Structure 1
Amino acid sequence: MRLVTFNLWGGRSLTPRARTLAPRRRRPVDLDLLRQAVIELDPDVLALQEVDREQSRSHHADLAEVAAEAMGATDHRFVPTLAGTPGAMWAVSSPAHRASGEYGIALLSRLPVRRWQDISLPGLRPSFSVLLPVLRQQLTVGEEPRAAVVAHLDTPAGPLAVVNTHLTWIPGSGVRQLQEITSVLAEEPDPVLLTGDFNMWGSLPRRITGYRSLAEHLTYPAARPTRQLDHVLLRGDGPEVVASRAVRLAVSDHLALVVDLA
């Protein structure tokens, strides 16, 4: 089984052509490049973060659906966390907002999914002040809502829970969110695979969860990686790791983290 976690960055491109055409926030989304990236990865289970649906910046496409078709997924789930555009005007997502564009996480699988489970994660109040020591200024920001999604899979080796999440970058709050996930999963039988963009690096994810890391590769920023923000962790006796690697693709500012499991 090949498990991949990949922060899509909304499907934006890091190709030389994109860099010359537009600044960082306006880089174009090429759906063909996204399809090619997923085909190249060839995942059996694909965890995606920063996924657009019906966003104007990504041609009003459902990026989870595009990826699912490219990999031949038999089942997938998109979990919206906000409506609108991250970093601009947004609101907490609800069914009424779907037509206006959403953003969130997705989990896709070629293996049968027995059931899905969504987990809402705690966050700070909608707006707060952060001190920027370099500028010696207070910056008021809003924290995006965060979530996790669990796929309970049927595999040839038996049941397996795979969890995808995208945690906040705000110190302390991300720790609480990871603790919430492990608390919710405490009653689930082993094995459990926890993956996603944790926005933390080093041994911290392992120390918080008590899970074992299955892959240690630098994943961010894609052009010249200096840290590992994307992780795959295992709780319990699970499948053996055959190989792992971080892959640079034509889309995203993250490398995709790939783990091949026996």
Structure 2
Amino acid sequence: MTRVLTLNLQHGLSREGTATTAEQLAGAMSGVEVDVVALQEVDRGQPRSGGLDQAGVVADALGLPHVRFAAVLAGDVRRRKASPARWGMVDGAAYGLAIASRWPVVAWFVTPLPRLPIRHPVLANGRVRLRDDEQRGALAAVLQTPQGHLSVVSAHLSLLGPVAAVQVRPLLRSAATLPGPVLVCGDLDLDPWALRPLARGWQFPRALTFPSRAPRRQIDHVLARGIEIERADAVELAVSDHRGLLATLAH
């Protein structure tokens, strides 16, 4: 039985919205038993989160020795949000995606996704502001499991529904070329009704994940191709404004 968790980590914030220490972040994973975790909104070396390697902290807490991290943004995100010069690879402070696994990673890939090229209005604190559509992307890892290759993708799509819908197509086309059964995990920012026509041929189970305290929507998903998901559970943790989505694979 293989268990895969996807979680938008919200850069390690507690449910009260405060930064967590390494001990608190590790403690939030207590009692969670998984073989693979796909993370989004992960800080590495960021001052706002105490300079932690959050993917490493989570992986150690879950007993997962094989970790890959891909930067979507480089530098101190409190000051400016800049895409890295070499997409996915950054020395120093970064923010992005991660995958941690019980099994060795035999290959891994990072891919930027298309984004809205112009600034767009958002409502913040009762005022309309213009902001850039943040760079989004995907991290894929091919794992060598006892049953053979399993490919896992961690992705985070745009907050803008129409843009997220555009991003899904290249994401799934790319994922479908990976070896073995494939899982596409992440905060896709799309409800099941919007995702269904874009993900024909993929299984994705239902469980409400957002907001964490009283979830009304499912925007976090595990999409499966070539393998069946036996069950899925939304898992409330002591971190993040999302619940994790735990998928149990039928093999």
TM-score, normalized by length of structure 1?
Answer: 0.85
Deviations 1:160-189 (A, max 9, x none): 211110101112211121111122234334
Displacement after TM superposition at 1:211 (Å): 3.8
Q: Which residue of 2 aligns with 1:52?
A: 43
Distance change (3 Å), C-alpha of 1:43 and 1:157: same
Q: Which residue of 1 aligns with 2:150?
A: 160
Displacement after TM superposition at 1:54 (Å): 0.7
Q: 1:197 aligns with which of 187, 191, 198?
A: 187
Higher helix proportion, which one?
1
Q: Which residue of 2 aligns with 1:188?
A: 178
Q: Comparing 200-209 with 55-64, which one deviates more in the overlay?
A: 200-209
Q: Which residue of 1 aligns with 2:110?
A: 118
Are the aligned partners of 1:190 and 1:235 in contact in 2 as well (CA < 8 Å)? no
Displacement after TM superposition at 1:68 (Å): 1.6
Q: Does 1:248 align with 2:221?
A: no
Q: Does 1:41 align with 2:42?
A: no
The structure that has the greater radius of gyration is: 1
Deviations 1:188-211 (A, max 9, x none): 345211110001112322321224
Q: Which residue of 2 aligns with 1:224?
A: 214
Q: Which residue of 2 aligns with 1:11?
A: 12
Distance change (3 Å), C-alpha of 1:75 and 1:131: closer
Deviations 1:92-147 (A, max 9, x none): 12479633x2110101100121111111111112x413376xx7x86311111111
Q: Could you tell me which runs of 5 or more consecutive residues in structure 2 were left unpaired when the two chains were aligned.
A: none
Are the aligned partners of 1:8 and 1:49 in contact in 2 as well (CA < 8 Å)? yes
Aligned residues: 245
Are the aligned partners of 1:29 and 1:57 in contact in 2 as well (CA < 8 Å)? no
Q: What is the one-letter code of the residue matched to 1:209?
A: A
Distance change (3 Å), C-alpha of 1:52 and 1:123: same
Q: Which residue of 2 aligns with 1:106?
A: 98
Q: How far apart, CA to CA, are the structure 1 residues paired with 2:90 and 2:105?
A: 27
Are the aligned partners of 1:123 and 1:143 in contact in 2 as well (CA < 8 Å)? yes
Q: Could you tell me which runs of 5 or more consecutive residues in structure 1 were left unpaired when the two chains were aligned.
A: none
* SS of structure 1 residue aligned to 2:241: coil
Q: How far apart, CA to CA, are the structure 1 residues paired with 2:247 and 2:38?
A: 12
Q: Does 1:83 align with 2:74?
A: yes
* SS of structure 2 residue aligned to 1:43: coil
Q: How far apart, CA to CA, are the structure 2 residues paired with 1:258 and 1:129?
A: 33
Q: What is the one-letter code of the residue matched to 2:37?
A: L
* SS of structure 1 residue aligned to 2:109: strand
Q: How far apart, CA to CA, are the structure 2 residues paired with 1:206 and 1:32?
A: 39
State the identity as a percent.
36
Q: 2:22 aligns with which of 31, 55, 62?
A: 31
Q: Does 1:258 align with 2:246?
A: yes
Distance change (3 Å), C-alpha of 1:98 and 1:227: same
Q: How far apart, CA to CA, are the structure 1 residues paired with 2:245 and 2:122?
A: 32
Q: How far apart, CA to CA, are the structure 1 residues paired with 2:246 and 2:70?
A: 22
Q: Does 1:2 align with 2:18?
A: no
Distance change (3 Å), C-alpha of 1:91 and 1:144: same
Distance change (3 Å), C-alpha of 1:142 and 1:88: farther
Q: How far apart, CA to CA, are the structure 1 residues paired with 2:164 and 2:77?
A: 18
